[in-house]
A and B are shown apart, each in its own frame.
Chain A
Amino acid sequence: DTGVSQDPRHKITKRGQNVTFRCDPISEHNRLYWYRQTLGQGPEFLTYFQNEAQLEKSRLLSDRFSAERPKGSFSTLEIQRTEQGDSAMYLCASSLRGGTEDYGYTFGSGTRLTVV
Chain B
Amino acid sequence: AQRVTQPEKLLSVFKGAPVELKCNYSYSGSPELFWYVQYSRQRLQLLLRHISRESIKGFTADLNKGETSFHLKKPFAQEEDSAMYYCALRDRYGNKLVFGAGTILRVKS
Contacts and interface: CB of A to CB of B under 8 A. Distances in A.
Contact of A41 (B45, B49, B101): B101
Contacts of A41: 101-102
Nearest to A42: B99
B94 A100 contact: yes
Contact of A42 (B49, B86, B95): B86
Q: Which range holds the interface residue count of chain B?
A: 20 to 34
A91 B96 contact: no
A109 interface: yes
A48 B95 contact: yes
B101 A109 contact: no
A91 B46 contact: no
Contacts, number: 43
Interface in A41-67: 41-45, 48, 55-56
Interface in A73-116: 91, 97, 100, 102, 104-110
Given A48-B96, A56-B95, A102-B94, A107 B101 contact: no
Contact of A109 (B9, B43, B98): B43
Contact of A91 (B9, B44, B94): B44
Contacts of B9: 40
A10 to B, nearest CB: 14
Which among A43, A55, A108 has the highest number of chain B CB atoms within 10 Å? A43
A108 B38 CA distance: 12
Interface residues of A, number: 22
B39 to A, nearest CB: 12
- Among B6, B44, B90, B97, the most chain A Cβ lie within 10 Å of the Cβ of B44
Contact of B102 (A3, A42, A48, A91): A42
Contacts of B102: 41-42
Interface of B: 4, 6, 9, 43-46, 49, 86, 88, 90, 94-102
13 contacts: A33-B96, A41-B101, A42-B86, A42-B100, A42-B101, A43-B99, A97-B94, A100-B94, A102-B90, A104-B46, A104-B49, A105-B97, A108-B43
